[in-house]
Chain A
Amino acid sequence: MSKKVSKKDLSPEARAIINSQVTRRGLIAGTGAVGAAGLLAACGSSGDGGGGGDASTVRWGNWPLYLDYDEDTKKYPTLEAFSAESGIAAKYFEDYNDNDEFYGKVQAQLKLNEDIGYDVVTPTDWMAARWIRLGYAQKFDLDNIPNRVNILDSLSSPSFDPNRESTLTWQGIMGGFGWNTKTNPKGVRTIDDLFAPQNKGKIVVLSEMRDTIGIILLSQGVDLQSVTEDQFMNAVDFMEGKIADGWIRGVKGNEYAEDLTSGDATAVIGWSGDMFILASENEGKFDFAIPESGGTISGDNFIIPTPVGADAKANAEKLINYYYDPAVAAEVAAYVNYVCPVKGAQAEMEMIAPELANSPYIFPDDAMSAKLNVFRSLTPAEESDWSEAFQQAQGN
């Protein structure tokens, strides 16, 4: 799931301007720019030379606005604490804006086993699967990550990395319906609620294929673990029809948040974390729910790319271990509002933000978990055919 700013990201200079007054919402609202400059940046080679990294630093490339941030000090409190505690200087880059785009940017270096400029990155499940398949992910030295046992049972054995040897979840993301409570006073809980007359022309769906098509498929009673090509294409046709008939105004990344606040969108297929921030900052003007027919869940995963040298790798592992400490995980979750993958974080949350400790959107209970679905992994051929169909349906 591309969360936060997503693929249509800001150019570096635009980001610099907005960063100077950053709030998480502020950045979401300020996005929507494609990146001519982003593309240019993608052509540049990043790197401190082969091997990458050194004994005392770790370079982390993560999605924008995906780590606790203190606006007063302009620092990331948990990351600062990690550096102070371990003596490892952590360089944090909000450079991972979109799975496909990031892959396109670093793929050539990975192929040649050259430094990509990061010692640890956080691709989404399906992209992590691709990295593992192609041998671009290093196996962890498990001794360096004793806290890995804290991972939630439901996340401990994904098909792409059954023993979690080279990935660990950073955050989980739920896909569901978000809506404006004024135009949709009864809420949006079914696909029919979404395509209700008051939302005509004001619906935005996610550009993340597995969420948007996943939710449509679930509404058609299809199991995401066994979805066939016919079923998938059928759901894509459904979306294409809704675009052609003028129901859906856009297929977007995080910019849907901006459309909601500006009133251009009244109902969306969106992500949990974004929606809760929107709701809290707009006094209940927005709400989010998992569809009755089921929502999607996926994760972003820590991965250490193969070109990373031994020292930097060890540092990255210490960093991962640190974020699997329940107290630290709770601090992050209190800021990002996404699904926390760490056992024991809920108890810690009681102490720092009790109102969030019982949120099923951060700590899903059994009832919530039962409604969440994982999209099955696709073969390379499926990945490219399905993604092509999804792109064409949105006019690309």
Chain B
Amino acid sequence: MRKIRTPYLLLLPGFAFLFTFFILPIMNLAQTSTQTPVGGGDTGEFEQTLRFSNYLDAFLENREQFGRSFVYATIATLLALAIAYPLAYAIALKGGKLKNFMLILVIAPFFTSFLLRTVAWKQILGEEGFVVPTLRTIGIISENTTLTSTSFAVVMGMTYNFLPFMTLPLYASIDRIDPRTLEASGDLYANGFTTFRRVTLPLSMPGVVAGTLLTFIPAAGDYVNAEILGSPNTKMIGNVIESRYLTIVDYPTAAALSFTLMVVILILVTLYIRKAGTEELV
């Protein structure tokens, strides 16, 4: 008897935690999402009317920001992949003694507040920063072009902030590749590129899938980068939810938007995993 019970007892704290901090809030959110304001009531007073068209209204009103969130998140994920793959490759296969040091460098930004790092980007891309005057001198951007408050700044901020989430899983899976498989590929007259395409890349796919998911999902729901580095024309769905929740005090719309975002991400991720395959995902 005891033998059977022990594992369940061990799981209990986890279940209790998830129930209190995930299941209950989700139920509460679902319940809020179909409420409507009390007629003649004061700010923040809502009643349950099971108005499911809240979802449709919320979605249609904010299509633009939804679209933008997924476009920005996709670009940021691809950029992060392009930057992180060579980085992870270099650390895993060429790092040598410096491997651990390089890994620490990848993780180091986490020691500073996310917000401060984002604010720093504002200064880097600002008028008095280094980038803008340089680009102007070279003639890449005109005198009147600014970089802050643009979608470029938002996507850059997202790419930077989520880069470690891409790098670490990639590193883990590239590091695990047996170098002998690469040697074998060479022995079979494959050149460097073919070896990469036929051996390294397929073997590192679990890292690519994990890294893109870890980057894309938080990026799609992010609002800090758009708030600090963007303009009214670059607002993402996270900004809308924040403003609905805290400024307009329209809890039902905020809840409906949150749910919609969750479902859309879930669908996209499911399709992606189906396509990419999860068997090797550890």
Q: Which residues of A contact B (CB under 8 A)?
A: 7-8, 10-11, 13-14, 17, 30-37, 39, 98, 100-101, 103-104, 107, 130, 133-134, 200-202, 243-244, 248-251, 258, 262-264, 380, 383-384, 387-388, 391-396
Contact = CB atoms under 8 A, between A and B. Distances in A.
Contact of A34 (B37, B123, B228): B228
B235 A33 contact: no
B239 A395 contact: yes
Given A201-B146, A396-B235, A33 B123 contact: no
Nearest to A42: B246
Nearest to B126: A262
Contacts of A251: 232
Interface extent on B, as a size class?
35 or more
Nearest to B243: A396
A235 B85 CA distance: 50
B146 A104 contact: no
Contacts of B119: 30-33
B232 A32 contact: no
Given A13-B113, A34-B227, A388 B232 contact: no
A7 B242 CA distance: 11
Contacts of B13: none
A157 B165 CA distance: 57
A104 B241 CA distance: 14
Interface in B28-55: 37, 41-44
B233 interface: yes
A306 B234 CA distance: 41
Interface in B225-250: 227-228, 231-235, 239-240, 242-250
A39 B247 CA distance: 13
Contact of B128 (A33, A134, A262): A262
A24 to B, nearest CB: 18
Contacts of A392: 61
B137 interface: no
Nearest to A200: B144
Contacts of A130: 42-43
Contact of B44 (A8, A107, A264): A107
A107 B244 CA distance: 16
A11 B127 contact: no
A31 B129 CA distance: 17
Interface in B121-143: 122-123, 126-129
Contacts of B234: 395
Contacts of A35: 115
Contacts of B242: 34, 39, 396
Contacts of A103: 249
B114 interface: yes
Given A14-B115, A34-B227, A263 B232 contact: no
B185 interface: no
Contacts of A98: 246
A37 B41 contact: no
A30 B233 CA distance: 24
CB-CB nearest 3 A-B residue pairs? A263-B127, A33-B115, A395-B235
Nearest to A198: B144
A342 B18 CA distance: 53
Contact of B115 (A10, A101, A104, A243): A10
A278 B250 CA distance: 36
A298 to B, nearest CB: 17
Contacts of B115: 10-11, 14, 33-37
Given A383-B43, A396-B244, A396-B247, 14 more contacts: A32-B119, A33-B118, A33-B224, A35-B115, A36-B115, A100-B246, A100-B247, A104-B249, A130-B42, A263-B126, A387-B248, A395-B65, A395-B239, A396-B235
A34 to B, nearest CB: 5
A387 B122 contact: no
Nearest to A9: B115
A104 B245 contact: yes
Contacts of A264: 126-127, 146, 148-149
A12 B248 CA distance: 24
B249 A384 contact: yes
A251 B114 CA distance: 22
B162 interface: no
Nearest to A243: B232
B223 interface: yes
A110 B118 CA distance: 34
Interface string B256-281: 00000000000000000000000000
Given A8-B228, A36-B114, A395-B239, A380 B223 contact: no
Contact of A384 (B116, B235, B240, B250): B250
Contacts of A34: 115, 223-224, 227-228, 242
Given A251-B232, A380-B43, A395-B239, A263 B128 contact: yes
B249 A100 contact: yes
B149 to A, nearest CB: 4
